Amino acid sequence: MRIERIELRELRMPLVSFFETSFGRTVERRIVLVRVDADGLTGWGEVTCGERPFFTYETPETAWHILRDFLIPWTIGKPWDSPSLLATQFRPIRGHNMAKAALENALWDVQAQEAGVPLAKLLGGTQIEIACGVSIGIQENVAELLDKIEHEVEAGYQRIKVKIKPGWDVEVLEGIRSRFPDIRLMTDANSAYSLDDLPHLNLLDQFGLMMVEQPLGWDDLVDHARLQREIETPVCLDESIHSASDARKAIEIGACKVINIKLGRVGGFTSAREIHDLCRARGVPVWCGGMLESGIGRAHNIALSTLPGFTLPGDVSASRRYWKEDIIEPEVSVSARGTICVPERPGLGFAPVLDRIEKATIRKETFA
């Protein structure tokens, strides 16, 4: 594949309802898209960072800078036998995984089209439909949260994840369990606690949670290992895992029993597959996380979730939970049994809608 042209765009996309975590509320997304033209085909990738450097240090601005000044000049005009070679090429740049992932993943889209196979197939996916859960943000009050949960359970989602933070945890879970004693439930703290909260975190064991996601420091493994020794509830790591090497260390020291794989956070499909393969070999279940993606990133997440080690429902859910109108056709929809059917068309299997993308674009830069 010879990369002939690359286009960067920043889109503004208002969410249909706000999404709040322990680090704040998001009402509108700023999404950087990467369009790659190679061999007469077009591939798309999405930078999945937040607007503010809270989940990770990346922002749309840092991603634009790293793509424009490093990743694009290193790749454009050159032939690439495989998208994985991009991951090798990008290795000297420390971090900036979400910028790297957007470009690498766009090339995977091109390669799947060139091979005439669905992206899921090209990656080695084996599942023809994927199991879906939802992530529900912090609400104004518990009653509103319970209504949201009811709505999603009725829609068929297979598990519910709720965001927690100090002051929005044990009482909230009591409320959930008294109304929904049997649902598959988990929590995500986005690093809102420390080991000082150990007695409090012990209280989580009474709620029959599938797991607690990233309770401690975003850059920590050691304290998570200590916590996992103290609590029954499986710890799942999100923010702490950026590579297969991080995953290996976390598993070896007992810092987690489950790993959430996010394409952006780990730097793209090549790294995501390495983590998947390692976890599968060690019997650690994985699932695909979400970053409030547009349809482009969502389509990539669906393809990733078809790998055999993705045995738990992920945070990949219907377009309409986020957008009045998604930027792909068809939009992502979820069946009444809480699954997404994996498209059988070549490439992403969802077509980017150029005029909707254009309408949402607030800046654009082209490289040739």
Distance CA 78, CA 37 (A): 12
CA–CA distances in Å: residue 117 to residues 112, 154, 275, 305, 315: 5, 34, 23, 16, 25
- Is residue 135 at the binding interface for ligand OSB, with CB under 6 A as the rule? yes
Using H for helix, E for strand and C for coil, what is the string for 277-310?
Answer: HHHHHCCCCEEECCCCCCHHHHHHHHHHCCCCCE
Per partner kind, with CB cut-offs from 5 to 8 A, the member of Mg ion, ligand OSB, none near residue 346 is: none
Smallest distance from ligand OSB to CB 86, Å: 25
- Single-letter residue type at 141: N
- Is residue 315 at the binding interface for Mg ion, with CB under 5 A as the rule? no
| Interface with Mg ion (CB under 5 A), residue from 46, 58, 188, 220 | 188
- Which range binds Mg ion by CB under 5 A, 125-133, 170-178, 187-195, 275-283? 187-195
- Is residue 290 at the binding interface for ligand OSB, with CB under 6 A as the rule? yes
Which of 32, 291 has the CB closer to ligand OSB? 291
Which of 26, 111 has the CB closer to Mg ion? 26
- Which range binds ligand OSB by CB under 6 A, 78-86, 97-105, 112-120, 288-296? 288-296
Per partner kind, with CB cut-offs from 5 to 8 A, the member of ligand OSB, Mg ion, none near residue 176 is: none
* Site size for ligand OSB (CB under 6 A): 10
- Which range binds Mg ion by CB under 5 A, 35-43, 72-80, 164-172, 205-213? 205-213
| Active site positions, annotated | 163, 262
Which of 86, 255 has the CB closer to Mg ion? 255
| Interface with ligand OSB (CB under 6 A), residue from 160, 292, 307, 357 | 292
Per partner kind, with CB cut-offs from 5 to 8 A, the member of ligand OSB, Mg ion, none near residue 37 is: none
Site for ligand OSB in 225-254 (CB under 6 A): 238
**Token pair recorded at residue 322:** 């986020």
Report yes or no: 31 and 11 within 8 Å, Cβ to Cβ: yes
| Interface with ligand OSB (CB under 6 A), residue from 37, 109, 188, 326 | 188
- Is residue 293 at the binding interface for Mg ion, with CB under 5 A as the rule? no
Residues of this chain that bind Mg ion (CB under 5 A): 188, 213, 238
Residues of this chain that bind ligand OSB (CB under 6 A): 55, 135, 188, 190, 238, 289-292, 315
